[in-house]
Amino acid sequence: MSSSLLLTLLTLCALTTPLVAMPAPTCRFHGYLVKESLKLLRQLGGRDFPGSCLPYNHNISFPDSAFPQASANRLQCHQALKVIYALLEGVELILANSTCPSTWDESTLDTFRNLQDQLLDQGHCFSDRGSSELFSAYFNNMTTVLEQEVGSECGWAVLKKDLVTVLDSALHKYHKCLK
């Protein structure tokens, strides 16, 4: 009886050891994907921000206070990555439900969206209701402008500019947070 109990215990240990020894999956953003996404965004629809869109730029502004002040510790990195995730997630919803400007190259946009999907998959654990609520006013304003016939092109220009600014900031200010 004791030998069968020992055999059972050894079998259980053998089955659970690999599970315990396996590293937990990590949640991160690959810096090279962020960098490539930024490059593609800059190629969409020209590099310059249209002067005629400046009034829209003042009415729709990305909440700068969303990013932590420094990237020195793990908590600040986590907060910065939550901001990136929330922005990418919001942009994904807008892209899925809106018609992009005809001046944007379709192939470049498709490649950007594929990279965006990869980043959202990588950073799924950064999804946070608090971050989503922080950006809800921003995305509501953005959606309103995009739905207007007159302001649509400017709405896309502002969205692109803000996304470029956030990703560029992430690459420079929070590069240690990106793997």
pLDDT, residue 19, reads 40
pLDDT, residue 172, reads 86
pLDDT, residue 106, reads 92
Considering the entire predicted model, what is its pTM?
0.76
Average pLDDT taken over every residue of the chain: 77
Residue 94 is assigned to a structural domain of this protein? yes
Residue 116 is assigned to a structural domain of this protein? yes
Q: Summarize pLDDT for 103-133 with one digit per residue, the tens.
A: 889 999 999 999 999 999 988 888 876 666 6
- Rounded to 10 deg, the angle between the 129-147 and 74-97 helix axes is 30
* Cα angle 87, 81, 41; round to 5: 45
Q: Summarize pLDDT for 19-38 with one digit per residue, the tens.
A: 444 344 467 788 899 899 99
Q: What percent of the chain has pLDDT over 70?
A: 78
Query: In residues, how long is the chain?
Result: 179
**CA 6, CA 47: separation in Å to the nearest integer?**
70
Residue 74 is assigned to a structural domain of this protein? yes
Residue 14 is assigned to a structural domain of this protein? no
Residue 20 is assigned to a structural domain of this protein? no
**CA 77, CA 110: separation in Å to the nearest integer?**
29
pLDDT, residue 81, reads 86
Of residues 7 and 55, the one with the higher pLDDT is: 55
pLDDT, residue 148, reads 80
CATH of the domain at 56: 1.20.1250.10
Number of domains in the chain: 1
Q: Mean pLDDT throughout 65-86?
A: 80
Structural domain boundaries enclosing 111: 26-177
Cα end-to-end span (Å), the chain: 53
Residue 13 is assigned to a structural domain of this protein? no
- Residue 140 pLDDT greater than 80, yes or no: yes
